[in-house]
Amino acid sequence: MEWIPSDLSGASCMDPFVVFQSFDHLATCFSIFGLPQHADSTGPTSTEKDGYRVNVNSTFGTLVGDCLRQYCEVPDPELEGCDLESYTPSDYYRVFTRPSQEFETTTCRSVDNDVNQDIGGVGVLLSFAMQSGILLYVHFAVLILKLIPAVTRCIRRCTKRARSTTKIQFGQHHFSVLKSMLVEFQEAQCFFMLSFQCAALIALAAGPQVFEATSLLQLQSNISMAKAVAFMGILPITYGLWILHRIGLHSWYISVWSAITIVTSSVTLHLCKVEPRADNLQEIATADRLDKCGFHPPPLIYCRSDSELGSSYSLVNNLTFGLSDNTANFVCIAIYGLLLLKRLAPYPKRWLGQKPWFQATYHRVHPWLVSRGIRILSRAVNVIIETLLLVTNFFYSFMVIARSLPTISLDSWSFGQIIAVTIWSPIVSKYLYWLLCTYLAFLSTPVPFFCFILITEIVGTDSYSAIRFPSPYKIIRVKTINEEENPDDEDRLFIHLPSTSDLNINPNSKKFIVTDVELTPVNDSKTSSVSTRHSQFPI
């Protein structure tokens, strides 16, 4: 915001009521009594600052000092700014008019810069860390669970050892549990972030004064936190959607809600790009007793120096290669667009498959699309995007925490902060519950009753366990794996059999191994027995 000089004289600048009425009046008086000041910003950007300075012992400097001293007799708890914190008092008061409006003195370092708890707090910060941590865990778990079977098969081929598929099957069922958990997590974070963004949009529609800030520094902290909250609905949502695509879980329901969340968060991020202004500040409660300030707030409300955060900002900038919020936002939107194109790709062939012109075009283009070079390029693009999302998610989480910790009171827990943290508890607890039941299914002891339905719905019935199910049920699907000729092939048999023994699989065969048996209730009240090569399942 450009500084507009006021039509003031030297005499009028000795009246506190005139001087402290607005920043324009204060800066005009500094320009009359002070000397030009040029400095380099010590914050996250190396911008130059221009303004004026006056000696604290000069006539005008004494007027400013009297105002500050009277305020510090009973400082406002929402503003503070009276503690020197072992710093040597400065010999000058400074006002900067470019690139932004700012008043600078030593006690500006102690001005309260805590973020409004309705926008962000320790709970919101911890919730964002948990959100990013869960995504990173799921991503690494997916990579590991996909890598282990390939490595195991390679070792077995090389060593020609006896096959023991129990651990591999446990990994496969763990992978099924992980996929179910990721679907619920993506849905939860979409709705959770949408509620955040809607609240932020309603608040921003009323203007920045909704932040209830008493200084430009506090207002700047609130705007930065609002940007971080907005971006929490962009990067993690895109990251989670990419992982779902990576493991082959396509759902228009999740895709649509993810798109709504990303668009809403992008709008919130755009509205957060406002310049902190003095007219957006909240009046302090002690201004009516400050006669030496003309019954106006002290110039401490114009403090906005970020020198104390300079090292943290510089470290974050180096780690993120200076990636701005705008750039990251557009990249996430582009990645979602790519996923949408992949999602829509089968439909033209389905709708236009009978058209002669489409068939002719398809036959000309198809050999090129399935060529080795295109496949390599496609895999390379996937690896680049996946690595970019992983690294950006990690470093952006670190950046938000590094920026926000100095502006958040760690003991300021409220109902909203507690809700922000516990929102992920159902997802985590359900995942642990699923994992426990999956693990118990591979033990020789009977599985507890509370795991019956879970194992049937999530991971099926494993042929290496002795699981007792309530009767009556019948088999509707048996899944086998082929480990010899092509380990990646799977033979799914959709059948209605009373027992897996009717599959006519040679008991000595090592080629096909039964991995899953899915059951469904029947009206028959009789109890029958379902058996496999390895165990019996009374149902």
For the chain, the domains span 12-110, 122-274+309-358+387-429, 445-538
Q: List the strands of the sheet with 92-98, edge to edge.
A: 35-40, 48-55, 92-98, 102-104
Name the DSSP class of 472: P
Contacts of the segment 434-440: beta carbons below 8 A, 24+ positions apart: 434/177, 434/180, 434/181, 434/458, 435/174, 435/177, 438/170, 438/173, 438/174, 438/177, 439/170
Residue 168 pLDDT: 54
Residue 485 pLDDT: 46
Residue 469 pLDDT: 37
Residue 501 pLDDT: 47
Residue 89 pLDDT: 80
d(CA 237, CA 199): 18
pLDDT string in tens for the chain (539-residue length): 567 778 888 888 999 999 999 898 999 999 999 888 776 654 444 467 788 899 999 999 999 999 999 999 888 888 888 877 667 788 889 999 888 888 988 888 888 888 877 777 778 888 888 888 899 998 888 888 776 666 656 655 665 554 445 555 556 667 777 888 888 899 999 998 998 888 888 877 776 666 778 888 888 888 888 888 888 889 899 999 999 988 887 788 899 999 999 999 999 888 887 778 887 888 888 888 899 999 999 999 999 865 444 434 444 444 444 456 778 888 889 999 988 888 887 777 777 767 777 777 777 777 777 778 878 888 888 888 888 888 888 877 777 777 666 666 667 777 777 888 888 888 888 888 877 777 776 665 555 555 654 544 454 433 333 333 334 444 445 455 444 444 444 444 434 444 444 444 454 544 444 445 455 555 544 434 333 333 333 33
Beta-carbon contacts of 365 under 8 Å, excluding residues fewer than 6 positions away, are none
Identify residue 409 by its one-letter amino acid code: S
Identify residue 146 by its one-letter amino acid code: K
End-to-end CA separation in angstroms for the chain: 76
d(CA 177, CA 291): 68
DSSP 148-217: HHHHHHHHHHHH-PPP--HHHHHHHHHHHHHHHHHHHHHHHHHHHHHHHHHHHHHHHHT-GGGG--SSHH
Q: Can you tell me whether residue 97 is helix, strand or coil?
A: strand
Residue 270 pLDDT: 87
How many Cβ atoms from other residues are within 10 Å of residue 172's Cβ? 20
Token pair in block for residue 406: 């100095």
Cβ(87)–Cβ(291) below 8 Å = no
pTM greater than 0.75: no
DSSP 92-153: EEEEEEESS-EEE-GGGGGB--PPPTTT--HHHHHHHHHHHHHHHHHHHHHHHHHHHHHHHH
d(CA 32, CA 10): 7
